[in-house]
Amino acid sequence: MKRVAITGLGLLSPLGNSVNEFWQHIVDGKSGAGPITKFDASKFKTRFGCEVRGFHPEDYFEKKEIKKYDLFSLYAMVASDQALKDAQLDTSTMKDEELYDIGVIWASGNGGIGTFEEQLKEFYAGDGTPRFNPYFIPKMIVDIAAGAISIRHRLHGPNYCTVSACASSNTAVINAFDTIRLGKATIMIAGGSEAAITPSSVGGFNASQALSKRNDIPETASRPFDIERDGFVIGEGAGALILEEWEHAIERNATIHAEMVGGGMAADAYHLTGTHPEGLGARLCISRALSDAGLAPGDIDYINAHATSTGIGDISEMKGVERIFGDLPVLISATKSMTGHLLGAAGAVESIISILSVKHNIVPATINTKTIDEKIPRGLNILIGKSIHKTVHYSLNNTFGFGGHTASSIFKKYAG
């Protein structure tokens, strides 16, 4: 099968709206959490999150275009534009036959949930006459971001969305990887976006006891593995990757950030929202990713854990990790301690972190964690406090979602 290079990266995040700014904040251990400003959250149990700040759609789109799209699609297009620019791919100058071989696989867990809320609110506040926005359906449906990116750049390759809750965008990256390996496209834009800091989303996660309620100290609320963790911090944003057939990237002298070498997916098949208590799904997807890459556990230098700061989830993931890696000196960290949980965009954003780790030989730390829960397997090398410089040949990114969906991807240092 063909080799796959990562040649472009782009993102919007609670820690900055460019890759360089974001990475610097990750290395520095900065928290992106703060009070919710998207709506009046004063009556909610949780009143904080990790919002994208400083994003103004009018800086990127005409007003008539903004009206056509939900915020999650606007995030998707801007992050993809960044990634294409980073990859030095100008689709406006490409021939049609080149555009036929470029595809998009884009993910979201919630799609246009903000649009959905707004339209129903307007309907029930009226006289019952159905006066819906003509863009209601295309703004809301989850696949529309993938379509919008392809329309924006005239891309005619494989085009669809993946929805596997919080594993969605890692799944998208793995699917794009496989698409290129099998020779079905030369270049793929893959990633995910989420704009779900909305009343129904926050209220729903509150009802399921999933969110932290540390309203007095939001910056330190996300504390994966810690004995005092009380739930995840909801986030938003987008992450985009350009995956490219290796020889094509070399031929055009592209900058290669890393090589993607493996991907694995599995299911807990256990519970609607809870992870398998022994980390079965985690163990399966990690082992499948390793097998796909032709690697042994000892080859992995860094694991970006899913670790959302929930009671059961952190423990089950680390049990799965421990079953595979034992007491090997692989470094583990949970960057959701800084970004919050970007739901369907988490896998793509954390893939970017994993890629930059192998590129720059830096392992970011887990912040806010003070005392590791005694139920977390002993012997695991969880990095807490400050990022460190360490040669990273291979990094592994874990992402899991409600419904038992699990996905792991592996990236390799490019030594060219």
Average pLDDT by stretches of 10, the chain with 416 residues? 98 98 98 98 98 97 96 98 98 96 98 96 88 94 98 98 98 98 98 98 97 98 98 98 98 98 95 87 97 98 97 96 96 98 98 98 98 95 98 98 96 93
| CATH code for the domain in which residue 324 is found | 3.40.47.10
Note whether 293 and 187 are same-domain residues.
no
Query: Kind and range of the H or E element at 4?
Result: strand 4-12
Note whether 239 and 283 are same-domain residues.
no
Residue 261 falls inside a structural domain: no
Owning domain of residue 139 = 4-251
Query: Kind and range of the H or E element at 264?
Result: strand 258-267
Task: Find, among 167, 168, 190, 308, the residue nearest to 239 by Cα.
Answer: 190
Domain final residue pick, 218, 251, 284 = 251
pLDDT given at position 250: 98
Note whether 246 and 293 are same-domain residues.
no
Catalytic residue check, 341 = yes
pLDDT given at position 416: 80
Catalytic pick among 153, 257, 276, 341: 341
What length does the chain have?
416
Residue 257 falls inside a structural domain: no
pLDDT given at position 237: 98
Catalytic pick among 50, 166, 257, 405: 166
For residue 344, what are the CA distances in angstroms to 72, 163, 230, 337, 367?
A: 10, 8, 21, 17, 22
Q: Considering all CA atoms of the chain, what is the largest pairwise distance in Å, rounded to the nearest integer?
A: 65
Domain total of the chain: 2
pTM of the model: 0.97
Note whether 351 and 376 are same-domain residues.
yes
Domain final residue pick, 217, 251, 285 = 251
pLDDT given at position 350: 98
pLDDT given at position 81: 98
pLDDT given at position 274: 82
Catalytic pick among 153, 276, 306, 405: 306
pLDDT given at position 279: 87
Note whether 149 and 242 are same-domain residues.
yes
Catalytic residue check, 166 = yes
Note whether 16 and 122 are same-domain residues.
yes
Which tokens go with 379?
């012997």
How far is it, in rounded angstroms, from Cα 144 to Cα 393?
Answer: 36
Residue 407 falls inside a structural domain: no
Note whether 361 and 336 are same-domain residues.
yes
